[in-house]
Amino acid sequence: MTTDTASLPRPRTSLPLRFLAGVVLALLFGLAFFYLLMRPPSSDLRAMALFLSVTAAISLLAGYAAYRLGWLARSPRLMWTLMGIYALAGALTFLNVWLTARLMFASQHDLQLATVLLLFAGGIAVSLGYFLSAELTQRMESLNRAASEVAAGKLDTRVRVTGNDEVAAVARAFNDMAVQLEDAARKRQEVEQLRRDLIAWAGHDLRTPLASVRAIVEALADGVVEDPATTQRYLRTAQRDIRSLSLLIDDLFELSQLDAGGLQLSRQPNSMADLISDTIESFSAMAQAADVTVRGRAEPGVDPVIMDGQKIGRVLANLVGNAIQHTPAGGSVTIEARTTGAEVRVQVCDTGEGIPAADLPHVFERFFRGEKSRSRATGGAGLGLAIAKGIVEAHRGRIWAENAAGHGACFTFALPSS
């Protein structure tokens, strides 16, 4: 596994240089404060500068050694690492103050008193550091436990976010990651279920017409059927079954293109009015056979629409074909196109039985068919509306279904007008 270090934020200066800058600033500030507070003679100022420089150099060497040799990084627990930092900082503070006092000003009594006070202050600092670092380490341990649970498959694990520091940012990022992993796992399960459904349902819809065609071909090949009229009837049945197989294969191919993001659109100015007229003409024979009236209109100003005319024609064909199938004899199917704001809306309404309320949220799911029967004559393969939804969304549009106020159902899709 490689790490993309280019994506990681880099400090403007390295840690050792920042440490050096901090020590130099502390030295300069100490000397300035010493001069302003005590107004010492130049000899004392030079002595103080020398002593502070020596102790600063010792501090630099000790701190850099701990950093370079990785002493603190070898600690098995963050708590011990923090305690080591506090101890090292306390030791350097003690060394700076004690050595300066010893070399310059303090008497034996004052030096002993300063030693006691420094040890006491160092102990207080370490105790306070332990107390405050305990909460930090607990938050890190909580993150560690949560990460272990996620690794074990418990993707609903979340950590409590407290504060606004870096640990809180890591906790928020962890929760976001867990949400994305959970969503990915759920989508993977959905895809796996869809794969199983595809195999089962496509196998069913392929097997039935194939069995029919096989029986017809075998009957004709064996000479079982000799009557010309019966032969013609068998051939028409085989032709219908082959057409059904071809439609199913086309649906599966187009659905695979939508899933792979490989649907190629040729978007250019097209006439929605002409598309509606062509669709009505292509379904005229089917509508006449079902005794259903199909009519349509486009409001003035709708055209032109930037779209892939062939693909949107497929959407209209799927919607109109479904509407005719679900409209009883003597009913009607209406297609209307109008401009609404920055959208062109096309609505296909029928006077059929409508859609059960429980089915409305699922009508655009692939392989969904409200009927219990799996006959292709009534329900199809359950792919037409899913393909229509994919095509419309590829145009950055939207599609929905609703029941009409009186009776029947309405399917509406909206496309950007430009």
Q: What's the rounded mean pLDDT across residues 347-366?
A: 82
What 8-state DSSP symbol labels residue 152? T
Please provide the average confidence, as pLDDT, over all residues in the chain.
Answer: 77
Q: How far is it, in rounded angstroms, from Cα 98 to Cα 113? A: 11
Of all residues in the chain, the percent with pLDDT exceeding 70 is 74
Beta strands of 215-311 (E only): which ranges? 268-270, 293-298, 305-307
pLDDT at 8: 45
Lowest mean pLDDT among 6-20, 132-146, 390-404: 6-20
Q: What's the rounded mean pLDDT across residues 349-373?
A: 73
Answer positive or negative: Cα dihedral of 77, 82, 88, 90.
negative
Q: How far is it, in rounded angstroms, from Cα 392 to Cα 413? A: 7
* Domain ranges for the chain: 12-178, 179-260, 268-416
Q: Above 50 in pLDDT, residue 229? A: yes
Take residue 261 and report the two structure tokens written for it.
Answer: 């993001």
Residue 335's pLDDT band (boundaries 50, 70, 90)?
very high
The per-residue DSSP string of 8-31 comes to: S---SS-HHHHHHHHHHHHHHHHH
Residue 260's pLDDT band (boundaries 50, 70, 90)?
low
pLDDT at 78: 65
* pLDDT 10s digits, 33-56: 878 877 888 887 887 788 778 777
Take residue 385 and report the two structure tokens written for it.
Answer: 């509306």
CATH code that applies to domain 179-260: 1.10.287.130
Q: What's the rounded mean pLDDT across residues 78-89?
A: 69
CB 169 within 8 A of CB 143: no
* pLDDT 10s digits, 241-253: 787 677 677 767 7
Q: Above 60 in pLDDT, residue 376? A: no
The per-residue DSSP string of 53-122 comes to: HHHHHHHHHHHHHHHHHTTGGG-SSHHHHHHHHHHHHHHHHHHHHHHHHHHTT--HHHHHHHHHHHHHHH
Take residue 1 and report the two structure tokens written for it.
Answer: 């596994």
What 8-state DSSP symbol labels residue 39? -
* pLDDT 10s digits, 301-315: 888 888 888 888 888
Q: Above 80 in pLDDT, residue 131? A: no
Q: How far is it, in rounded angstroms, from Cα 149 to Cα 214? A: 55
Q: What's the rounded mean pLDDT across residues 279-308?
A: 87
Q: Which CATH class is domain 268-416?
A: alpha beta
Read off the pTM: 0.49
Beta strand pairing call for 332-340 and 293-298: parallel
* pLDDT 10s digits, 231-240: 888 787 787 7
